């Protein structure tokens, strides 16, 4: 069984990261931050315990507080909106472009207002959003732009790596992201003042307990095991059970990133371009194989975008979506609907975001991660053609 999304991590890399973190003391986090600034071409990078902690820290650094408004897409992970509501921030849900899954800039232009302090621009599935237009709209309304590049580390917009095209950005090193240390994240910014505020906030976070650090180690060992397809076949229901994933707990912020995880993330970062090239090659092959199928709607990729394709989303008729997913699973390919409900529908008293509410009913995300082979891609597309 092919997992829907996974990052190659070896047991040897985990042991080496643990050994190096003990030997090098407290330098691993700073070393990782320097490597990220060099990779992204940013002035500053601040490592955090999660992508959500990175966003929380940025919001605090920019002085966004209870009662302020933040605009964000209606199609994305609910942990972001949950964080905003938890901080008592007013959320302004923006519809998406069905063909890119990213912010609909026309809807943003219509809904942004003088009370909007920030726009969260999400690069969905590793496909960059239209940053030039978003920046222009935000500037005209006195808003800052925070890039949610959790799914897109290494992707480029107009030959610039995403993350610092807006005012600031953040990445996630969660188990289902472009690189992983099980948990973790990073802030990137070119603003000296914002960077210092982020560091001051992060310095006040507590160290992770020895117990939590031990749990992280053993979870990472378990993560290496489920990369074996036969093992994953037996445990995939547990692996996909959201209730077992502590990282979606909104209160799991306010702790520091560990040196052990930073050592592992550094190893992962050195392989990121290789991982992303495999993802892109797999996605391009799927696109080529499916482009003439009239029953499948594919992503629209602009010429000035260089996406990394964390997953490859397709849209099909709602009536056959689950039958397709079941048939793919029967052929050893696990897919995902990713987001089961548009955020504008998840909470009460929000106006409709019609595009987001439509794509959640039609989307199937195909795996394109580094463990997916050309043979797997051929198998995927064969199943889809046989069913459609």
Query: Is the residue at 173 inside a domain?
Result: yes
Picking from 126, 123, 160, 127, the residue whose alpha carbon sits closest to that of residue 145 is 123
pLDDT of 158 strictly over 60: yes
Confidence category of residue 31, pLDDT binned at 50, 70, 90: very high
What is residue 51's predicted lDDT score, i.e. its pLDDT? 95
Q: What is the pLDDT of residues 92-111, one digit of tens each?
A: 999 999 999 999 999 999 99
Number of independent structural domains in the chain: 1
* pLDDT over 70 at 249, yes or no: no
Q: Average pLDDT, stretch 229-254?
A: 62
Query: pLDDT digits over 78-97, tens only?
Result: 999 999 999 999 999 999 99
Range of the domain at 143: 11-203
What pLDDT does residue 232 have?
83
* 155, pLDDT greater than 90: yes
Does residue 382 form part of some domain? no
pLDDT at 195: 98
Read off the DSSP letter of residue 133. H
Q: What is the pLDDT of residue 117?
A: 98
Q: What confidence score (pLDDT) does residue 245 get? A: 43
Q: Contact, 124 vs 149, CB < 8 A?
A: no
DSSP letters spanning 226-290: TTSHHHHHHHHHHHT-GGG-GGG-TT--SBPPPHHHHHHHHHHHHHHHHHHHHHHHHHHHHHHHH
29 φ, ψ to 5°? -65, -45
Q: Which of 208, 207, 220, 190 is nearest to 46 (CA)?
A: 190
> pLDDT tens-digit profile of 139-153?
999 999 999 999 999
Quick check: 45 and 37 in contact, CB under 8 A?
yes
Tokens matching residue 184: 């973790």
Q: Considering the domain boundaries, does residue 330 fall inside one?
A: no
Structure token digits, residue 71: 């605009």
Question: With bands split at pLDDT 50, 70 and 90, how would you rate the model's confidence at 247?
Answer: very low
Residue 4 lies in a domain: no
- Across residues 252-278, what is the average pLDDT? 95
298 in a structural domain = no
Which pLDDT value is given to residue 228?
86
pLDDT digits (tens, 9 = 90+) for 39-53: 999 999 999 999 999
Residue-wise pLDDT for 261-273, tens only, equals 999 999 999 999 9
Distance CA 129, CA 121 (A): 7
Residue 2 lies in a domain: no
* Euclidean distance between CA atoms 341 and 352, whole angstroms: 12
| Closest to 15 measured CA to CA, from 173, 221, 259, 222 | 221
What's the rounded Cα separation, in Å, for the pair 46 and 147? 15
Query: Three-class SS of residue 226?
Result: coil
What mean pLDDT is reported for the chain? 94
Task: For residue 334, give the DSSP letter.
Answer: -
Residue pair 45/188 in contact (Cβ under 8 Å)? The answer is yes
Q: How confident is the model at residue 239 (pLDDT cuts 50, 70, 90)?
A: low
Rounded Cα gap, residues 382 and 100, in angstroms: 24
Name the nearest CA neighbour of 336 among 319, 321, 346, 347.
Answer: 321
Cβ partners under 8 Å of residue 72, min gap 6: 80, 81, 84, 91, 92, 93, 94, 119, 120, 122, 343
Residue 31 lies in a domain: yes
User: Smallest Cα–Cα separation from 6: which of 184, 233, 182, 171?
Assistant: 182
Asked if the structure places residue 334 within a domain, the reply is no
Q: How far apart are the first and last CA of the chain?
A: 22
Q: What is the CATH number of the domain that holds 89?
A: 3.40.640.10
Tens digits of residue pLDDT in 342-363: 999 999 878 889 999 999 999 9
Which residues, other chains included, contact 61 with Cβ-Cβ below 8 Å and sequence gap of 6+? 194, 197, 198, 201
């Amino acid at each position: 069984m092919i997992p829907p999304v996974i990052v190659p991590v070896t047991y040897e890399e985990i042991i080496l990261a643990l050994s190096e973190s003990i030997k090098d003391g407290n330098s691993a986090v700073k070393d990782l931050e320097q490597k990220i600034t060099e990779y992204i071409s940013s002035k500053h990078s601040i490592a955090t315990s999660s992508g959500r902690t990175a966003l929380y820290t940025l919001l605090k650094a920019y002085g966004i507080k209870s009662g302020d408004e933040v605009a964000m897409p209606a199609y994305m992970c609910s942990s972001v909106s949950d964080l905003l509501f938890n901080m008592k921030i007013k959320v302004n849900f923006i519809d998406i472009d069905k063909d890119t899954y990213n912010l609909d800039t026309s809807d943003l232009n219509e809904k942004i207002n003088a009370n909007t302090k920030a726009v969260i621009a999400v690069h969905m599935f590793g496909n960059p959003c239209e940053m030039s237009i978003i920046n222009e709209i935000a500037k005209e309304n006195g808003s800052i732009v925070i890039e949610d590049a959790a799914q897109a580390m290494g992707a480029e917009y107009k030959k610039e790596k995403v993350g610092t095209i807006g005012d600031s950005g953040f990445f996630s090193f969660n188990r289902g992201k472009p690189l992983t240390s099980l948990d973790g994240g990073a802030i990137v910014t070119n603003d000296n003042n914002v960077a210092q505020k982020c560091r001051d906030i992060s310095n006040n976070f507590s160290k992770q307990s020895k117990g939590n650090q031990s749990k992280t180690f053993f979870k990472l060992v378990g993560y290496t095991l489920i990369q074996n397809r036969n093992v994953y076949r037996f445990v995939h229901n547990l692996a996909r059970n959201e209730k077992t994933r502590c990282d979606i707990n909104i209160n799991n912020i306010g702790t520091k990133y560990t040196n052990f995880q930073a050592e592992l993330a550094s190893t992962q970062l050195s392989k990121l371009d290789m991982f992303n090239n495999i993802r892109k090659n797999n996605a391009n092959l799927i696109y080529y194989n499916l482009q003439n199928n009239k029953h499948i709607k594919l992503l629209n990729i602009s010429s000035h975008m260089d996406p990394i394709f964390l997953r490859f989303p397709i849209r099909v008729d709602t009536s056959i979506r689950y039958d397709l997913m079941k048939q793919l699973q029967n052929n050893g390919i696990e897919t995902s609907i990713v987001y089961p409900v548009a955020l504008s529908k998840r909470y009460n008293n929000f106006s409709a975001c019609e595009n987001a509410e439509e794509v959640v009913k039609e989307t199937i995300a195909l795996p394109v991660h580094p463990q997916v082979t050309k043979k797997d891609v051929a198998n995927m597309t064969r199943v889809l053609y046989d069913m459609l």
